[in-house]
């Protein structure tokens, strides 16, 4: 665990950087809010309706495809490190694995899932 101490410290430094800067800024900046100033910006028009709008179902399809290929990368990394030691059999196995996923990609492509219109 000792080797991850730096990671913890760096993450904490990044996270605390903003509040510390905002605290310094508090000494310099004015604070005079009023209702018109806090209104949502919509190019000068009065805003109506909620901003949490509905969005298209294709996000879901792309999300599913992304999940599959992102997990594939997680499998590829340990294999990539060991590929020299695994020999030709290891290479063939991974090519088969990639080919199976490519078949899935081609199917999605043919079905028009990859069209973003």
Partner 1 sequence: MSIVSSLNALVGSLPGFWSPLVSALIKVLLVLAFVFGNEIMLIWLERKVCGRFQRRKGPMYVGRPEGWLQSIPDVVKLLAKEDIIPARADRWLFVLAPMVIMVPAVALFVVIPFGRGWVPRDLNIGILYLVALGSFTILSLFMAGWGSGNKWSTLGAMRAVAMLLGYEVPLALSLVGVAMVAGSLSLVDIVHAQERAWFVLLQPIGFLVFLVAAAAELNRTPFDLAEAEQELVAGYQVEYSGMRWAMFFVAEYASLMAISAIAATCFFGGWLGPFASGPWWFLAKLYFFIFLFMWVRWTFPRIRIDHMMELGWKFLLPVALLNIVLTGIGLAIWG
Residue 107 within binding range of partner 1, rule CB under 8 A: no
Region 10-29 residues binding partner 1, contact defined as CB under 8 A: 10-11, 13-15, 17-19, 21-22, 24-26, 28-29
Q: What is the 3-state secondary structure (H, E, C) of the chain?
A: CHHHHHHHHHHHHHHHHHHHHHHHHHCCCCCCCCCCCCCCCCCCCCCCCCCCCCCCCHHHHHHHHHHHHHHHHHHHHHHHHHHHHHHHHHHHHHHHHHHHHHHHHHHHHHCCCCCCC
List interacting residues with partner 1 (CB under 8 A): 2-7, 9-11, 13-15, 17-19, 21-22, 24-26, 28-33, 35, 37-43, 47, 49, 51-53, 55, 59, 62-63, 65-66, 69-70, 73, 76-77, 80-81, 83-84, 87-88, 91, 94-95, 98, 101-102, 105, 109, 114-117
């Amino acid at each position: 665990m000792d080797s991850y101490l730096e990671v913890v410290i760096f993450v904490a430094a990044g996270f605390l950087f903003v509040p510390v800067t905002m605290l310094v800024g508090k000494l310099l900046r004015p604070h005079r809010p009023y209702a018109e100033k806090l209104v949502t910006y919509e190019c000068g028009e009065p805003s109506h309706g909620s901003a949490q709008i509905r969005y298209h179902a294709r996000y879901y399809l792309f999300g599913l495809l992304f999940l599959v290929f992102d997990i594939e990368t997680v499998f590829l990394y340990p294999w990539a490190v060991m590929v020299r030691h695994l020999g030709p059999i290891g290479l063939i196995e991974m090519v088969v694995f990639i080919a199976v996923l490519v078949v899935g990609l081609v199917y999605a492509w043919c079905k028009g899932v990859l069209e973003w219109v």
